[in-house]
Amino acid sequence: MTDITIDPALVEAMIMEMGAIGAHSGTGVWRTVYSPEWVAANDLYASWGEEAGLAVSRDAVGNVWAKLAGSEGGKSIVSGSHIDTQTPGGRYDGTLGALSALIALKVLKAQFGQPKRTLEAVSLCEEEGSRFPSANFWGARAITGAIHQGDAETTRGFDGETMAEAMRAIALDPAKIATAQRDDIESFVELHIEQGPILEHADLPVAIVDAITGLRHYRVTLTGEQNHAGAFPMDLRRDPMAGFAEIASGVINTAHRLGRPAVTTIGRVEVNPNGAAVVPREVRFTIDVRHPHPEQGQALYRLHENLMREVAERRGLAIEWDIGIEKAPCLSDPALVSTFREAAVDQGVPTLTMASGAGHDTQQMARIAKTVMIFVRSKDGRSHTPEEFSSIPDIVAGIKVLAAGLYKLAY
């Protein structure tokens, strides 16, 4: 196919202009859903869509759509991401995917005219949960019909305000949320910064994502017997800290031995009592376990659980756990993975295929559409911070792959 031409100066100008809305901490952005900054960012997004000759609309939760109608109709092929940020976040996480979709449609329309299949770019809302902690993927969940009547009234932000109140403040009606649901999307493609170091370590600009990780979050309690640190012999102790140390080392080393993409993290530990000269009575801790492939993920969970039971029994400890969060892996559509790998080859962009270790709007969209993601290299693997950065050449390479893949699907 013809080489896709992306103007680096345009890309940089759009990133910087959007990044100025809610600018914070030098290179950062603070732009929470339904805030004045979020409204201004979506107004700018809509204006850019109109300038590109696309049909712009907004749905009941504030997602902004920019449509390039196809001559043959049918279900839409959609690309986009979220425009809300962490507090503060950076200029690229989420926002880059929304802008890249808009740029891709603008370029395709200019270079190739009307597609056969309808293409849409979308700016989604409240992926991060930065204002309303239980509302992650709010925009995508509205599209997939996963927001229930009354959710807006019971969802509260960090400041106590409800989602319904925040919506009404910018003239959105929470009673109409159900109208945002779509049943006419065939495929969803999300470009995103990688948020990790794999592309940088491979010295490659772009990856095609074949799966988004599954995860299980354990909350574990080990209970033993509190005693004096000096007077109680080691062989008579029921020490939950010793059990914790063995479990923590064991689960982390298990994931390490299995290798990529298995990961296990001990993120939080609480010791009771937390004294320097006391054998503690109880240790509570979390284990975050992730794997993008269903069978291997289940095997990793079993290995961790077997180890926890064995250590507790051998050391005379009581153990119990519950699972706070569990998400199944989201596998990309194999045909879409192939399409975008071929698109990268056509455009001369070197890529690798990898899994995402973080969650994305794509997981929600997979309920109603075939999905795939494109990653762009992140400097030092940083994200969710003002220091996150992706270079313009890498971003242009990612948009070329996105646009070329959309061309294959729609033209």
Domain of residue 226, CATH code: 3.30.70.360
End residue of a domain, out of 327, 343, 377:
327
Secondary structure of residue 105 in the 3-state scheme? helix
Note the pLDDT of residue 1: 65
Residue at 158 is within a domain: yes
**83 and 230, same domain (yes or no):** no
**14 and 77, same domain (yes or no):** yes
Mean pLDDT across the stretch 384-392? Answer: 97
Tell which phi-psi region holds residue 137, choosing left (phi > 0), alpha (psi between -120 and 50) or beta: left
When pLDDT is cut at 50, 70 and 90, the band that residue 361 belongs to is very high
**64 and 130, same domain (yes or no):** yes
**78 and 207, same domain (yes or no):** yes
Residue at 94 is within a domain: yes
Query: Number of structural domains, the chain?
Result: 2
Q: For the full predicted model, state whether its pTM sits above 0.85.
A: yes
Share of the chain above pLDDT 90, in %: 99
CB 223 within 8 A of CB 263: no
**125 and 193, same domain (yes or no):** yes
DSSP 378: -
Secondary structure of residue 218 in the 3-state scheme? strand
Q: With both helix axes pointing from N to C terminus, report the angle between 8-19 and 36-51 in degrees, rounded to the nearest 10.
A: 150
Q: What is the mean pLDDT of the chain?
A: 97
**181 and 219, same domain (yes or no):** no
Concatenated DSSP letters of 13-29: HHHHHHHTTTEETTTEE
Tell which phi-psi region holds residue 264, choosing left (phi > 0), alpha (psi between -120 and 50) or beta: beta
Mean pLDDT across the stretch 77-90? Answer: 97
Instruction: Tell me the residue range of the domain where 293 lies.
Output: 214-327
Cα torsion at 256, 260, 262, 264 (round to 10°)? 50
End residue of a domain, out of 327, 346, 379:
327
pLDDT tens for 309-331 read 999 999 999 999 999 999 999 99
Pairing of strands 318-327, 214-223: antiparallel
Residue at 267 is within a domain: yes
Domain CATH number, residue 339:
3.40.630.10
CB 228 within 8 A of CB 222: no
Residue at 346 is within a domain: yes
pLDDT tens for 188-233 read 999 999 999 999 999 999 999 999 999 999 999 999 999 999 999 9
**179 and 223, same domain (yes or no):** no
